[in-house]
Amino acid sequence: MAFLKVSNITKSFGATEVLKGIDFTLEKGEVLAIIGSSGSGKTTLLRCLNYLETPDTGSITVDGNTYFDAEENKTLSESEIRKRRLHFGLVFQSFNLFPQYTVLQNLTLAAKLLRQDELKKQYKSKAISKEEYKAKKSAIPNELNGIAYALLEKVGLTEKADFYPCQLSGGQQQRAAIARALALTPDILCFDEPTSALDPELTGEVLNVIRGLKSSDSTMIVVTHEMEFAANVADKIIFMANGVIEEFGTPDEVFDSPKSPLLQSFLGKNSFAG
Work out which of 65, 100, 129, 260 binds another protein, going by CB under 8 A.
100
Using CB under 8 A, which residues numbered 135 to 174 contact another protein?
A: 164-166
Cβ of residue 237: shortest distance to another protein, in angstroms? 24
- The runs of H, that is alpha helices, within the chain are 42-49, 78-85, 103-124, 130-154, 170-182, 200-213, 227-233, 251, 261-270
Phi, psi angles (nearest 5°) of residue 80: -70, -45
Total binding residues toward another protein, as defined by CB under 8 A: 29
Cβ of residue 139: shortest distance to another protein, in angstroms? 20
Using CB under 8 A, which residues numbered 66 to 85 contact another protein?
A: 78-79, 82-83, 85
Q: State which residue, 111 or 227, has the beta carbon closest to another protein.
A: 111
Phi, psi angles (nearest 5°) of residue 88: -115, 140
Q: State which residue, 140 or 244, has the beta carbon closest to another protein.
A: 140
User: Can you spell out the DSSP letters for 104-163?
Assistant: HHHHHHHHHHHHHHHHHHHHHTTSS-HHHHHHHHHHHHHHHHHHHHHHHHHTT-GGGTT-
| 62 contributes a contact to another protein by CB under 8 A | no
Enumerate binding residues for another protein (CB under 8 A): 50-52, 78-79, 82-83, 85-86, 88-90, 92, 94, 96-100, 109-110, 113-114, 164-166, 180-181, 184
